[in-house]
């Protein structure tokens, strides 16, 4: 943990301190939901009304196994994500930011897990809609973690086989929309800089102020993918996992990131005395 602190201090990053350590949720509150179809209308608050009803079920045991805890209102871990959400939303509102890229220096730092839990937590706010988009085109995992399988996904959108509205799904949680990527995509850096993705990001951002769009991204240092994406989003949430990146990897990442757009740093897999998260 010291090397993380040193790297952040060197880069003069002050907005630090969200520490996360997950354990499987103890209680189940997401029950099987009847999903009322992909979102196709929005009211003035940007809240999505679902029509035409394909059914998607979230399996509680699967969510727990994958450390998705934010839906479990009474769980301490869920409270921690709510706290992270509150800090994030405050800073986003101050800056009129609506799109977030979740990145890390190196793989396996917890980006996908944090993106999902954060999106669920944001969706719990009655005045917000959260859209979670899987833009880790090399290693898409959002659908796997949520346990959802869809016929149409980002893969079809990228091949002009489906419009955006047909690849958005609701996982049975109000005000939460998922745009899954079901299969790895080749030439991902080229695709992420293409008009197709630029247009998607612009379209998702443009419509309503109450929308928060979270992009689960690839690691910064393993390919060009994240670097291509970062200039296209409003702000960046950096996830650094204890033991997963060296100090020089953290420093190199911080060097690449535009500091003015850095929303914050989450210290993941932090050692904590109790099993709860703390901030």
Handedness of CA 129, 130, 135, 139 (dihedral sign): negative
Q: According to the binding rule CB under 6 A, does residue 269 interact with ligand ATP? A: yes
Considering the complex, state which of residue 39 and residue 110 has its C-beta at the smaller distance from Mg ion. Answer: 110
Q: Which stretch binds ligand ATP (CB under 6 A): 19-27, 54-62, 127-135, 249-257?
A: 19-27
Residues 110-169 within binding reach of Mg ion (CB under 5 A): 111-112, 136, 141
Question: What's the min distance (Å) between Cβ of 185 and ligand ATP?
Answer: 14
- Residues 64/26, Cβ–Cβ less than 8 Å: no
DSSP β-ladder status, 262-268 and 48-50: unpaired
Report the alpha-carbon distance of residue 131 to residue 129 in Å, rounded.
Answer: 7
Other beta carbons within 10 angstroms of residue 76's beta carbon come to: 16
Q: Which stretch binds ligand ATP (CB under 6 A): 18-26, 70-78, 84-92, 173-181?
A: 18-26
Report the alpha-carbon distance of residue 35 to residue 217 in Å, rounded.
Answer: 26
Q: According to the binding rule CB under 6 A, does residue 80 interact with ligand ATP? A: no
Q: Which stretch binds ligand ATP (CB under 6 A): 28-36, 104-112, 200-208, 226-234?
A: 104-112
Q: According to the binding rule CB under 6 A, does residue 181 interact with ligand ATP? A: no
Q: Which stretch binds ligand ATP (CB under 6 A): 36-44, 111-119, 147-155, 199-207?
A: 111-119
Question: What's the min distance (Å) between Cβ of 82 and ligand ATP?
Answer: 16
Question: What's the min distance (Å) between Cβ of 190 and Mg ion?
Answer: 20
Among 47, 188, 253, 268, binds ligand ATP (CB under 6 A): 268
Three-state SS at 233:
coil
Binders of ligand ATP: how many residues, by CB under 6 A? Answer: 18
Q: Which residues lie across from 178 on neighbouring strands?
A: 132, 169
Q: According to the binding rule CB under 6 A, does residue 110 interact with ligand ATP? A: yes
Name the nearest CA neighbour of 17 among 1, 31, 35.
Answer: 1
Q: According to the binding rule CB under 6 A, does residue 147 interact with ligand ATP? A: no
The encoded tokens of residue 104 equal 């890390």
Report the alpha-carbon distance of residue 155 to residue 161 in Å, rounded.
Answer: 8
Report the alpha-carbon distance of residue 15 to residue 267 in Å, rounded.
Answer: 11
- Residues 103/264, Cβ–Cβ less than 8 Å: no
Q: Which residues lie across from 231 on neighbouring strands?
A: none
Phi, psi of 78 (to 5 degrees): -65, -40
Question: What's the min distance (Å) between Cβ of 186 and ligand ATP?
Answer: 17
Q: Which stretch binds ligand ATP (CB under 6 A): 88-96, 109-117, 154-162, 258-266?
A: 109-117
Considering the complex, state which of residue 130 and residue 239 has its C-beta at the smaller distance from ligand ATP. Answer: 239
| Residue 159 CB partners (closer than 8 Å, separation 6+) | none
> Which stretches of the chain bind Mg ion, using CB under 5 A?
111-112, 136, 141
Residues that bind ligand ATP (CB under 6 A): 20-22, 67, 104, 107-113, 136, 139, 141, 219, 268-269
């Amino acid at each position: 943990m010291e090397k993380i602190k040193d790297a952040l201090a060197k880069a003069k990053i002050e907005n630090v301190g969200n520490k996360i350590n997950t354990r499987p949720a103890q209680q189940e509150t997401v029950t099987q939901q009847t999903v009322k179809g992909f979102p196709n209308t929005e009211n003035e608050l940007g809240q999505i009304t679902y029509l035409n009803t394909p059914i998607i079920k979230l399996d509680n045991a699967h969510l727990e196994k994958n450390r998705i805890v934010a839906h479990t209102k009474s769980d301490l871990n869920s409270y921690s994500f709510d706290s992270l959400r509150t800090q994030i939303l405050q800073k986003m509102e101050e800056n009129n930011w609506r799109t977030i890229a979740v990145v890390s220096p190196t793989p396996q730092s917890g980006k996908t897990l944090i993106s999902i839990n954060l999106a669920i937590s944001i969706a719990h706010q009655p005045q917000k809609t959260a859209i979670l988009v899987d833009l880790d085109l090399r290693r898409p995992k959002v659908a796997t973690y949520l346990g959802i399988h869809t016929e149409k996904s980002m893969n079809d959108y990228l091949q002009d086989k489906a419009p955006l509205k047909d690849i958005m799904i609701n996982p049975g949680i109000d005000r939460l929309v998922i745009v899954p990527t079901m299969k790895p995509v080749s030439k991902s850096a080229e695709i992420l800089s293409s008009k197709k993705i630029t247009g998607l990001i612009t379209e998702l951002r443009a419509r309503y102020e109450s929308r928060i769009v979270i992009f689960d991204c690839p690691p910064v240092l393993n390919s060009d993918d994240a670097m291509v994406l970062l200039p296209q989003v409003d702000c960046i949430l950096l996830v650094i996992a204890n033991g997963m990146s060296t100090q020089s990897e953290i420093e190199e990442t911080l060097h690449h990131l535009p500091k003015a757009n850095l929303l914050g740093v989450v210290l993941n897999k932090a050692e904590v005395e109790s099993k709860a998260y703390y901030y």
